[in-house]
């Protein structure tokens, strides 16, 4: 059963469940994997954040990050930076690729980003952010969205003020990660605060932070009254989570993925990575994903350990195959291989 769509400017998403932007994670292969695992339960996917400096200086590696598959619509591309003209220029470049939405990052806490005035630093420079948004809005015909944090620190929580300003200058949706920049990823995302933002503006407000299961999805939505949810780390551990949430809303239960399904998804992820990257990148990304995905079943700790010692994607897939055939043998063989 299809859920009622949420309108973000002219774009409709249904359901209002979004794969959150994650640097180093939500590239094309990972986004495709999540869509394959969760199907139509993924309402929108967002790219990793992409540097406006790299885009406007024609850096090839940065431009490659704009790639997406035709099956990924609706898709949003997130950009970060702080220069007003470059932000507008980059937004126009992004729009020209045919994506559905452009998102601006106001949440990245990384020192190398905030020191240059971008990411969460924009929460401290609201009038500068306003100028950026006005200029980008003028440049775009597709919807513009903003991803913010609660504020910079506990003494400067200003997400309500920023969301009001964004609405006034024509931003079409605000996503709020309910932690401050200083919190990084510690503590809990404040969904009461996300609720305050929701009540303060008329544009859609989505919440982000700690949606990792069906019960947390249900509770965070109810508590905040948000229009939708962003799912980040939960999707890394469980790319079927969107499907499970939608099933729950329809009164059904989908069993959590078993070991076979998880290993199957990793094999598929390898294929998707191979289509997009050279072998070295594939191996590194596959290793990272495997360590996050193989958790909580008998032998998973040993499997993870064996995987960390692999150098190529072929070696890693061999470890998975061996584990599937003989869960007890992978342990000794991989230790031997690692020695």
Ligand X SMILES: Cc1cc2nc3c(=O)[nH]c(=O)nc-3n(C[C@H](O)[C@H](O)[C@H](O)COP(=O)(O)O)c2cc1C
Which of the residues are catalytic?
Answer: 108
Residues 19-38 vs ligand X: string with x where CB under 6 A? Answer: -xxxxxx-------------
Interface mask (CB under 6 A) for ligand X, residues 277-316, using x and -?
A: ----------------------------------------
Q: Specify the DSSP class assigned to residue 124.
A: G
Q: Does residue 177 interact with ligand X by CB under 6 A?
A: yes
Q: How far apart are CA 1 and CA 266, in angstroms?
A: 28
Q: Determine if 211 is a binding residue for ligand X (CB under 6 A).
A: yes
Interface with ligand X by CB under 6 A: which range of 61-69, 136-144, 229-237, 291-299? Answer: 229-237
Residue among 9, 43, 107, 118 that touches ligand X (CB under 6 A): 107
Which residue pairs, CB below 8 angstroms and at least 24 apart, start in 65-70? 65/27, 66/93, 66/94, 66/97, 67/28, 67/276, 68/28, 68/31, 68/97, 68/99, 69/28, 69/32
269 binds ligand X (CB under 6 A): no
Burial class (CB in 10 A: 0-12, 13-18, 19+), 234: buried
**Residue 146 or residue 316: which is nearer to ligand X going by CB?**
146
Pick from 65, 166, 231, 313 the residue near ligand X by CB under 6 A.
231
Q: Write down the least CB distance from residue 16 to ligand X, Å.
A: 15
Cβ-Cβ contacts under 8 Å for 42 (sequence gap 6 or more): 17, 18, 19, 34, 35, 242
Question: Is the bond leading into 15 cis (omega within 30 degrees of zero)?
Answer: yes
* Given 232, 269, 285, 313, the residue binding ligand X (CB under 6 A): 232
List contacts with ligand X (CB under 6 A): 20-25, 48-49, 78, 105, 107-108, 147, 177, 208-211, 230-234
């Amino acid at each position: 059963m299809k859920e009622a769509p949420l309108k973000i400017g002219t774009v409709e998403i249904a359901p209002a469940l979004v794969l959150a932007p994650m640097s180093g994670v939500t590239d094309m292969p990972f986004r495709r994997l999540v869509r394959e695992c969760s199907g139509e339960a993924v309402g929108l996917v967002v790219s990793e954040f992409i540097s406006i400096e790299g885009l406007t200086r024609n850096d090839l590696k940065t431009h490659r990050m704009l790639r997406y598959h035709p099956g990924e619509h609706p898709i949003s591309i997130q950009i970060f930076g702080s220069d007003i003209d470059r932000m507008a220029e980059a937004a126009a470049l992004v729009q020209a690729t045919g994506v559905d939405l452009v998102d601006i990052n106001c949440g990245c806490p990384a020192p190398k980003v905030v020191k240059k005035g971008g990411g969460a630093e924009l929460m401290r420079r609201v009038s500068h952010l306003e100028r950026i948004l006005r200029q980008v809005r003028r440049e775009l015909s597709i919807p513009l969205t903003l991803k913010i944090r609660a504020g910079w620190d506990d003494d400067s929580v200003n997400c309500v003020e920023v969301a009001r300003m964004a609405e006034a200058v024509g931003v079409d949706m605000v996503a709020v990660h309910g932690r401050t920049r200083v919190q990084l990823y510690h503590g809990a995302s404040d969904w009461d605060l996300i609720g305050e933002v929701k009540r303060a503006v008329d544009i859609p407000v989505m919440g982000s932070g700690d949606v990792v299961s069906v019960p947390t999805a249900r509770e965070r939505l109810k508590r905040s009254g948000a229009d939708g949810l962003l799912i980040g780390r939960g999707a890394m551990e469980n790319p079927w989570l969107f499907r499970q949430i939608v099933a729950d809303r329809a009164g059904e239960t989908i069993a959590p993925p078993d070991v076979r399904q998880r290993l199957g998804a990793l094999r598929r992820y390898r294929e998707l990575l191979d289509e997009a990257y050279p072998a070295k990148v594939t191996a590194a990304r596959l290793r990272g994903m495997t360590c996050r995905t193989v958790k909580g079943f008998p032998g998973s700790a040993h499997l993870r350990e064996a995987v960390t010692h692999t150098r190529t994607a072929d070696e890693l897939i061999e470890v998975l195959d061996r584990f599937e055939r003989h869960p007890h043998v992978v342990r000794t063989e991989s230790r031997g291989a690692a020695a």
